[in-house]
Structure 1
Amino acid sequence: MPTSFLEIVELPDGSIVLRRAEDEGVLVTLDFSDDAKVFLQGQHVEIAKAMFTVGVQMAGQMAEGELVQEEVAHVLH
């Protein structure tokens, strides 16, 4: 992916997206349920920022060959 500035935006429908600053194309979308928003006490946007930050860092490490994929099954919790 070419180098560009990324932005995190909360859309009118409540979705939080990661996109390139120069266009409207969405790269990743996060949707928190109403229950999750209540549990997070309205801090869901901050949680989304942290999730996107870690994801972008990991993608960068993978692109630079620093992150090695394990050959085992992964369980998502």
Structure 2
Amino acid sequence: MPSSVLEIIELANGDIVLKRAEHGDDALVTIRFSDEAKAFIDDGTIDVAKAMIQAGIEAASAIADERGVAKAEIIDSAEHTLH
């Protein structure tokens, strides 16, 4: 996967998406919290989503390392900026 700037956006429906800043509306990841989860985390939905996405990036990197996949082929948090 080519290096690019990633952004986290909260949509009008409350979904939180991760997408490439320069590539329109195609979401790489979509996170949807239940009403119960939203009530529990209150105003922290973006912070929780960022933590979830970061954990996913780290897990993908670890899996790629185990499989010998070149790091350029995965989203590496060191090469991207999450907004």
- TM-score range (shorter-chain normalised) is 0.7 to 0.9
Q: Percent identity among equivalent residues? A: 47
Structure with greater contact order relative to length (CA < 8 Å, sep ≥ 6): 2
2:10 aligned partner: 10
CA distance in 1, matches of 2:62, 2:31: 22
Give the superposed CA RMSD.
1.5
CA distance in 2, matches of 1:26, 1:57: 19
The Cα shift of 1:57 comes to 2.2
Which SS does the other structure have where 2:43 is aligned?
coil
- TM-score, L = length of structure 1: 0.75
- TM-score, L = length of structure 2: 0.70
Looking at secondary structure, tell me which structure has more helix per residue: 2
Q: Which runs of 4+ in 1 moved over 6 A?
A: none
Largest Rg, 1 or 2: 1
